[in-house]
Amino acid sequence: MDKLSNFKAVIEYNGMNFSFSERFENDDLSASLYRFDDNVQLEISPRRAIAFSKISIEADFSAKATDKLFLNGYQSWTDSRELAPNARMRGLIGIPKPVIHKWSLDRYGDYDFARYSVRSGELHGFTYGYLRDKWDHTLFGSLSERNGFTVIYTSFDEQKIVFEKDVSGVVFTDSRTVLDIAVLTGEEKEVFDKYFEVMGIPRPTAKPLVGYTSWYSHYQDINEFTLMHDLASICRNDPETGLFQIDDGYQRNVGDWLDVDGLEFPEGIKKIADTIHRHGIKAGIWLAPFVCEKNSVIFHDHSGWLLRGDDGEPVRAGSNWSGAYALDLYNSEVREYLRHVFDVVLNDWGFDLVKLDFLYAVCIIPQNGKSRGEVMCEAMDFLRECVGDKLMLACGVPLAPAFGVADYCRIGCDVGLDWNDSRIMQMTHRERVSTKNSVYNTVYRRQLNGRAFLNDPDVYLLRDDNLRLYYCQRQALAAINHIFGSVYFTSDDLEGYGVRQHKMLRTARTLRNAVVTSVDTEGDTIVITLEHNNKSKTLRLLSDGRLTN
């Protein structure tokens, strides 16, 4: 624990603050801080019901300005990359509140419960992170999020690190280990292998997927004819295709999953799945199980299913569609409805994989006496129960609750049709659409691939039409996805590919066999060293999307 030392616990409740390095006891509770070789635990035993305002483990943090610091972002889409320990992290500070409210910018991330600072060197993340001095890593990470998310705060000026458990909404009545933090040192592979071993997360058994998704070609504008054309095209032009996924747009409204648009799909969705199977590949479909839109039948006819805040109003989950609203996981009718939806989709319609999106919505607020992290973990368990032995691709989800539960998981935001969107959009939330952010997340969350689940880096796009990515950026996107990911999807019509696109795709696919030996930075450039075809190779990813040798 060379980089972390002098551990102490801090607890607050009823306006009182107590800190201790080993044991604390009063009329209300007893608490103990235990230090082992590779982890630190905080146990609390209340003698009466207590609602804590803070529970944390704090330590001295030996970070140099030349070190690299990684702190995992809140959910799949949150930008997560290595930073200098004295860098600045931008939240929604400075954006007018009416703009935030209108577009629900604070709904997608941690803005309502994590502390964002305008000061350089005051950073935060969730569940795990590491400090890297060249190849020497100090990994620090929660060994369980089942009783709440662990928010990690670092201060470069104070040389402090804080592991704070999000216990909002929880009343403690029984003894529990509230925080269990691993601190591991060594090279990258060593510390990440050990981290997941100690957590007891089994290696995923799912296989990598090559496939197609309709979203980035058509978005919601899909119909039977369009999908049949795309299916025939991808199967005719790419013999490696193993899955064809229908994305958003088949249903009349988000939330009304079994109410298929009869004009666009006159013979229903089962026919699509059957046709996909006749091509000898798996069928996938998109759902956002924990949200409904304002125009949906659910919103209008089942208002009791909506998650509601302390003010009694439905909880908004975003500005998507006609407005997204969260469903109440602990409403028995909601669970019964979702079980029925999954039964129809997986058994009657016959889909092999479900892409489950906007999952963060279920835990936007603490509820039912449970913290946000407890709710998210229970929600993932519920989804696994519903999906059974079919395949699950989780998206828009706080990552730790998906460890060992999802077969595949998105580890970055949606790619865009250009590199980094407009300057105005760059000033919005950390979960925004951005090809650049998606590529960076693919690089910096690479250690989860094959340990927590198989990483979905989102699609690669090589086509010429309806795309504003330069050729060099398309090449970088495809290469990075194939080097670091395990889900290799596109939304392109391959019949439109020319010689250049086919060459880029062939080159990218050879990189699936590459073994990454190191990832480092030189200023704004990511330097990737790998072994490929028995040769050592160095790639440099520049911030403008160029990938050079």
- Beta bridge partners of residue 515, listed in sequence order: 531
> 532 in a domain, yes or no?
no
Q: How many residues does the chain have?
A: 549
User: Last residue of some domain: 173, 199, 225?
Assistant: 199
Dist CA 29 CA 188 (whole Å): 39
pLDDT at 1: 58
Tokens matching residue 110? 């941690």
Tokens of 443: 């690089």
Same domain, 193 and 213: no
Q: What's the rounded Cα separation, in Å, for the pair 387 and 385?
A: 6
Among residues 335, 376, 372, 378, the alpha carbon closest in space to that of 359 is found at: 376
Domain end, chosen from 199, 229, 250, is at 199
Q: Which residue has the tokens 């790639």?
A: 539
Half-sphere exposure of 430 (CA within 13 A, CB side): 22
Of 145, 176, 199, the one marking the end of a domain is 199
Within 10 A of 21 (CB to CB), how many other CB atoms are there? 11
Please report whether residue 454 resides in a domain: yes
* Within a domain: 318: no
Q: Cα 150 vs. chain centroid, distance in angstroms?
A: 15
Same domain, 26 and 72: yes
Are residues 391 and 379 in contact, defined by beta-carbon separation less than 8 angstroms?
no
71's CB contacts (< 8 A; 6+ apart) are 80, 83, 123, 124, 125, 126, 129, 152, 154
Residue 460 resides in a domain = yes
How many CB atoms are located within 10 Å of the residue 184 CB?
21
121 plus 261 within the same structural domain: no
In order of 72, 258, 295, 429, 447, the CA distances from 527 in angstroms are: 20, 47, 47, 27, 16
Strands, E, within 492-524: which ranges?
Answer: 515-522
Do residues 235 and 273 touch, judged by C-beta distance below 8 A? no
220 with 106, same domain? no
The answer to whether the beta carbons of residues 461 and 426 sit under 8 Å apart is no
Element at 373 (helix H, strand E): helix 372-387
Q: Are residues 250 and 398 in the same domain?
A: yes
Spatial neighbors of 505 by CB under 8 A, at least 6 apart, are 462, 478, 497
Co-location of 226 and 179 in the same domain: no
| Half-sphere exposure (Cβ direction) of 331: Cα atoms closer than 13 Å | 16
What would you measure as the largest C-alpha separation in the chain, in angstroms?
76
Which tokens hold the place of 285? 């479909």
Rounded to an integer, what distance in angstroms lies between the CA atom of residue 88 and that of residue 154?
A: 11
**Is 375 a domain residue?**
yes
Instruction: Judge if 258 and 159 occupy the same domain.
Output: no
Q: What is the pTM of this model?
A: 0.98
**Does a structural domain hold residue 177?**
yes
Q: Any idea what DSSP says for residue 47?
A: S
CA distances from 121 to 85, 88, 154, 159, 486 (A): 6, 6, 7, 9, 34
On whether both 388 and 479 belong to a single domain, the answer is yes
Report the pLDDT value the prediction gives residue 90, as an integer from 0 to 100: 85
Among residues 156, 201, 217, 151, the alpha carbon closest in space to that of 179 is found at 151
Residues 344 and 444 in one domain: yes
Nearest one of 415, 328, 450, 431 to 74, comparing CA atoms? 431
First-to-last alpha carbon distance for the chain, in angstroms, is 37
- In this structure, the answer to whether residues 190 and 253 fall within a common structural domain is no
Rounded Cα distance between 61 and 125, Å, is 15
Tens place of pLDDT per residue across the chain (549 aa): 579 999 999 999 999 999 999 999 999 999 999 999 999 999 999 999 999 999 999 999 999 999 999 999 999 999 999 999 999 998 999 899 999 999 999 999 999 999 999 999 999 999 999 999 999 999 999 999 999 999 999 999 999 999 999 999 999 999 999 999 999 999 999 999 999 999 999 999 999 999 999 999 999 999 999 999 999 999 999 999 999 999 999 999 999 999 999 999 999 999 999 999 999 999 999 999 999 999 999 999 999 999 999 999 999 999 999 999 999 999 999 999 999 999 999 999 999 999 999 999 999 999 999 999 999 999 999 999 999 999 999 999 999 999 999 999 999 999 999 999 998 899 899 999 999 999 999 999 999 999 999 999 999 999 999 999 999 999 999 999 999 999 999 999 999 999 999 999 999 999 999 999 999 999 899 999 999 989 999 999 999 999 998
What DSSP element (H or E) covers 388?
none
**83 located within any domain:** yes
- Which residue type does 349 have? W
Same domain membership, residue 182 and residue 216: no
Instruction: State the CATH number of the domain containing residue 345.
Output: 3.20.20.70
In a domain, 400, yes or no: yes
Contact (Cβ atoms closer than 8 angstroms) between residue 485 and residue 455: yes
Report the number of distinct structural domains present in the chain.
Answer: 2
Could you list the residue range(s) of the whole structural domain that residue 156 is in?
A: 4-199
Do residues 195 and 216 both lie within one domain? no
